[in-house]
Amino acid sequence: MAAVKETVDQVRAIDVDQYKYGFESDIASDRARKGLGEDVVRFISAKKNEPEWMLEWRLDAYRRWLTMDEPTWARVEYPQIDFQEIYYYSAPKSTAGPKSLDEVDPELLKVYEKLGIPLREQAVLAGVEGAKIAVDAVFDSVSVVTTFREELAKKGVIFCSISEAMREHPELVRKYIGSVVPVTDNYYATLNSAVFSDGSFVYIPEGVRCPMELSTYFRINERNTGQFERTLIIAEKGSYVSYLEGCTAPQRDENQLHAAVVELIAMDDAEIKYSTVQNWYPGDKDGKGGIYNFVTKRGDCRGDRSKISWTQVETGSAITWKYPSCILRGDDSQGEFWSIAVSNGRQQVDSGTKMLHLGKNTKSRIVSKGISAGHSQNTYRGQVSVNRKATGARSFTNCDSLLIGQGCGAHTVPYIESRTPSAKVEHEATTSKISDDQLFYCISRGLSAEEAVALIVNGFVRDVLQQLPMEFAVEAQKLIGVSLEGSVG
Amino acid sequence: MLEITNLHAEIESEGREILRGLDLVVKPGEIHAIMGPNGAGKSTLSHVLAGKPGYLVTEGTATLDGVDLLGLDPAARAAAGVFLAFQYPVEIPGVGNVTFLKAALNAQRRARGEGEISTPDFMRLLRGAAGRLEISQDMLKRPVNVGFSGGEKKRNEILQMAILQPKLCILDETDSGLDIDALKVVAEGVNGLRSPDRAFVVITHYQRLLDHIVPDFVHVLAKGRIVKSGGPELALELEAKGYADFAEEAA
């Protein structure tokens, strides 16, 4: 995807501490006071002209959050986060109004240009017909522009920022928000529910196959700012949508917090494909700075024969805490999780999935590829749980770890729980190293050590890359190579 | 083309000297066979020339067309025209054979300051070479050496050689693990690559391979040095008498 385009073409010698997207944009912003309190929650809600019920919903979440404790079960270590030291709302000043491209701050457009995001519709149109992507760009806390809306509207597809959806389609938002990830789901999801600022909203009507890839592009720019976006995707009966998400942040010494919530809902025979290429700033080589990424993503296969597929390529963030999951509620519904998690430097990744089989003959498939280099720690944590009523359920997990060098670690923590004798649950796991012989073989054919590692790693993750839309896959492949530069030699 | 003078090399971790003053001169267009008992240093010679880590050259020189090979990293040696056909080709899961070939060829071309090869040109080159080596489409699509039979792996090495067009080809016991039919295909592949400006160093334990790849010179390597050189007839003599005499002579 465009999110990582520049990287690859131009940067050869990038290291973990030479993060490509580490430019800071000088854009006037409109912020809430530092720290968190009911006043801040009210401030955010007021900024967005939200209906009363939404404010109540946020306040309820905030009050519950105060009673909760930060989870500590993940295999990640970081200093205590001071939630009063963070700004919870930051909006580029000039984007308050409705969003046609002409009204967007040119500085902002330049930022996205630097990132290679195809906001200019005509630029995208000039490309291949099949490669059209509609983009919703989120800068710090708010969505700044959404492209291709008219064309989508012809099909009845709603694609806009969630703030806008709350005003334009309150009945849909109210019906579905929090229905997959409840307000009290977990510490970070609850925090998000209180202070979420923006995100994307997608609604695909019955029987519609969304005519193009939908994409959101997230960037954290402001200092000490948390990004709490919330995405809600609803696919009505027999519809289909493919959604891409890309992320970057500037390079900073201090840590930045990111706590998103994504909810997907698939009705009978609907299919949602959700792909992420996450390239938040990972911190420098000594582990200074970087994004703390605490994300709750969950899909609900609410209808029979529905399907939700998560594909993620995680290369950034100092800390990743992320478990995109599927609730397989409808009979014959299917959940998939395809993951590549690359860690280098001092990065810590604790990621995986949960597949909850509730309906009959539900199927889940998990393919996880973890690559650890440098002094990083990379954990796969997954849960497959088969309910008593989920007769004939089947689940297959394949979890492979690849180690590069001596200083890193890979860990696999599967939880399997089956209450149905007729269920079939399989788990396979391997751990391997890039051998010196493999490296020498490639190098003796003329490849540099870094090209050799990138080639071997891309071979290792090939199954997952194939799940990504093509333009995305090519970029992701290069991004993985860039992320691992400096890991050998 | 290749000039090796008084080469001494040891295994780095053990400090054990394997090559002890080896001299060899190979001219363009020639095929030199290197034979010798186990442990004589045959594979070490091929590894040291290709630049495999783990060896320490303590004395002597090796040059390719006047360029000091020992001062180059292995990738640069490849770009300079050195190719080692491995005794045990390595498997690279998930990396398609064609992808690998193209990446290697382009890396070498970039290193030499040439542009990358166009896809149609590459495919033409590949199809021609694959046809001569009886390499199927399926084998081209599969990941590098994964699940290949012994014969397929060796044929694949020769395919790489045909695509990369090196100046100096070193074959390290390419005949090991091959049945007679596979051996013939490999030998024909090698013979097809003979040219006045390319040289071969064929390392082998057995005379059998040399019936099919006829060398200009045969050398006996024992205890880290070339102890005897001759024409193809020397290989036959070795086949009849074994290496016992040379082990004695060198000692």
Helix (H) or strand (E) holding A8: helix A5-10
User: How high is the pLDDT of residue A20?
Assistant: 52
Q: pLDDT higher for A330 or B242? A: A330
- Encoded tokens for A297: 């993503």
Distance CA A412, CA A399 (A): 8
pLDDT band at A255 (very low <50, low <70, confident <90, very high): low
Task: Tell me if B111 and A446 make a contact (CB, 8 A cut-off).
Answer: yes
Among chain A, residues having any CB pair with chain B shorter than 8 Å are: 435-438, 440-449, 451, 455-456, 458-463
User: How high is the pLDDT of residue A224?
Assistant: 55
- Nearest-CA distance from A323 to chain B in Å? 26
Contacts of B93 in chain A (CB under 8 A): 459-460
> A455: nearest CA in chain B?
B95
Q: Which of A212-221, A350-359, A377-386, B66-75 has the lowest mean pLDDT?
A: A212-221
Distance CA A119, CA A131 (A): 14
Q: Is the pLDDT of residue B124 over 70?
A: yes
Query: Identity (one letter) of the amino acid at A450?
Result: E
Are A327 and A359 spatial neighbours (Cβ–Cβ below 8 Å)?
no
Q: pLDDT higher for A134 or A379? A: A379
Q: Is the pLDDT of residue B47 over 70?
A: yes
Q: Is the pLDDT of residue B51 over 60?
A: yes
SS (H, E, C) A201-246: EEEECCCCECCCEEEEEEECCCCCECECEEEEEEECCCCEEEEEEE
pLDDT band at B165 (very low <50, low <70, confident <90, very high): very high
Distance CA A390, CA A394 (A): 9
pLDDT band at A177 (very low <50, low <70, confident <90, very high): very high
pLDDT band at B74 (very low <50, low <70, confident <90, very high): very high
**Mean of all residue pLDDT scores within chain A:** 81
What is A163-183 written as a DSSP string? HHHHHH-HHHHHHHTTSSS-T
Distance CA A137, CA A120 (A): 12
> A466: nearest CA in chain B?
B94
User: How high is the pLDDT of residue A17?
Assistant: 36
The total of other beta-carbon atoms located within 10 Å of residue A447's CB is 26
Of A444, A448, A460, nearest to B94 by CB-CB distance is A460
pLDDT digits (tens, 9 = 90+) for B172-192: 998 888 888 888 888 998 999
User: How high is the pLDDT of residue A110?
Assistant: 61
- Interface A-B: count of C-beta contacts within 8 A: 74
Helix (H) or strand (E) holding A365: strand A363-372
Under DSSP, the state recorded for A34 is B
Taking residues B156-165, what's their average pLDDT? Answer: 95
pLDDT band at A6 (very low <50, low <70, confident <90, very high): very low
Are A255 and A287 spatial neighbours (Cβ–Cβ below 8 Å)?
no
Report the CATH number that the domain containing residue B245 is assigned in CATH: 3.40.50.300
Strands A409-418 and B2-11, sheet pairing: unpaired
pLDDT digits (tens, 9 = 90+) for B95-108: 999 999 999 999 99
pLDDT band at A437 (very low <50, low <70, confident <90, very high): very high
pLDDT band at A441 (very low <50, low <70, confident <90, very high): very high
User: How high is the pLDDT of residue B241?
Assistant: 85
pLDDT band at A479 (very low <50, low <70, confident <90, very high): confident
> B165: nearest CA in chain A?
A445
User: How high is the pLDDT of residue A7?
Assistant: 33
What is A52-116 written as a DSSP string? HHHHHHHHHHHHHHHT------SS---PPP-GGGSB--EEEGGG-S---GGGS-HHHHHHHHHHT
Q: What is the ipTM of this complex?
A: 0.95
Reported for B15-18, long-range contacts at CB under 8 A and 24+ positions apart, including other chains, are: B17/B58, B17/B224, B18/B44, B18/B55, B18/B224
Task: Tell me if A440 and B143 make a contact (CB, 8 A cut-off).
Answer: no
Q: Which has the closest alpha carbon to A410: A381, A446, A439?
A: A381
Q: Is the pLDDT of residue A92 over 80?
A: no
Q: pLDDT higher for B211 or A98? A: B211
pLDDT digits (tens, 9 = 90+) for A41-76: 998 888 888 889 999 999 999 999 999 988 888 888
Distance CA B110, CA B75 (A): 11
Under DSSP, the state recorded for A406 is S
Distance CA A88, CA A226 (A): 6
The total of other beta-carbon atoms located within 10 Å of residue A453's CB is 26
> B74: nearest CA in chain A?
A444
Are A265 and A230 spatial neighbours (Cβ–Cβ below 8 Å)?
no
Task: Tell me if A445 and B50 make a contact (CB, 8 A cut-off).
Answer: no
Q: Is the pLDDT of residue A266 over 60?
A: yes
Q: pLDDT higher for A244 or A208? A: A208
User: How high is the pLDDT of residue B242?
Assistant: 83
Exposed / middle / buried, residue A123 (Cβ in 10 Å: 0-12, 13-18, 19+): exposed
User: How high is the pLDDT of residue A25?
Assistant: 55
Task: List the helix and strand counts (H, then E) for chain A.
Answer: 13, 23
Distance from chain centroid for Cα A324:
9
User: How high is the pLDDT of residue A139?
Assistant: 57
Q: pLDDT higher for A489 or B31? A: B31
- Encoded tokens for A97: 């109004």
User: How high is the pLDDT of residue A18?
Assistant: 44
- Nearest-CA distance from A3 to chain B in Å? 25
Distance CA A15, CA A483 (A): 7
Q: pLDDT higher for A195 or A489? A: A195
pLDDT digits (tens, 9 = 90+) for A140-154: 555 555 667 777 888
- Encoded tokens for A237: 């009966």
Taking residues B131-137, what's their average pLDDT? Answer: 88
- Encoded tokens for B75: 């990738």
Strands A377-386 and A348-357, sheet pairing: parallel
> A443: nearest CA in chain B?
B75
Exposed / middle / buried, residue B61 (Cβ in 10 Å: 0-12, 13-18, 19+): middle
How far is residue A451 from each of residues A369, B108, B167, measured CA to CA in Å?
19, 12, 23
Tokens 């689940």 found at:
A395
Q: Is the pLDDT of residue A19 over 90?
A: no
- What burial letters (b/e) apply to B32-51, b meaning 16+ CB within 10 Å? bbbbbbeebbbbbbbbbbbb
**Mean of all residue pLDDT scores within chain B:** 92
Are A338 and A367 spatial neighbours (Cβ–Cβ below 8 Å)?
yes
Q: Which domain holds residue B122?
A: 2-249
How far is residue A101 from each of residues A147, A244, A374, measured CA to CA in Å?
8, 21, 42
Q: Which has the closest alpha carbon to B143: B153, B155, B133, B132?
A: B153
Of A444, A449, A458, nearest to B50 by CB-CB distance is A444
Interface test with B, best of A440, A458, A465, A478 (most B CBs within 10 A): A440
pLDDT digits (tens, 9 = 90+) for A448-476: 988 899 899 989 998 898 888 776 787 78
Q: pLDDT higher for B32 or A407? A: B32
User: How high is the pLDDT of residue A4?
Assistant: 36
- Nearest-CA distance from B46 to chain A in Å? 12
Contacts of A438 in chain B (CB under 8 A): 90-92
Taking residues A431-457, what's their average pLDDT? Answer: 92
Contacts of A446 in chain B (CB under 8 A): 75, 78-79, 104-105, 107-108, 111, 164
Going edge to edge, which strands form the sheet with B55-64? B16-26, B2-11, B55-64, B67-68
pLDDT band at A201 (very low <50, low <70, confident <90, very high): very high
The total of other beta-carbon atoms located within 10 Å of residue A66's CB is 10
Distance CA B248, CA B226 (A): 14
Task: Tell me if A446 and B93 make a contact (CB, 8 A cut-off).
Answer: no
pLDDT digits (tens, 9 = 90+) for A20-42: 555 555 555 677 778 888 998 99
User: How high is the pLDDT of residue A106?
Assistant: 62
Are B28 and B196 spatial neighbours (Cβ–Cβ below 8 Å)?
yes
Distance CA B173, CA B191 (A): 16
Of A445, A449, A462, nearest to B78 by CB-CB distance is A445
User: How high is the pLDDT of residue A133?
Assistant: 59
| Domains in chain B, number | 1
User: How high is the pLDDT of residue A254?
Assistant: 62
pLDDT band at A445 (very low <50, low <70, confident <90, very high): very high
Contacts of B50 in chain A (CB under 8 A): 444
* Beta bridge partners of residue A292, listed in sequence order: A257, A319
* Segments in chain B forming alpha helices (H): 42-50, 74-80, 97-111, 119-132, 137-141, 150-164, 180-192, 208-212, 232-241, 244-250
Of B74, B100, B111, nearest to A444 by CB-CB distance is B74
User: How high is the pLDDT of residue A488?
Assistant: 66
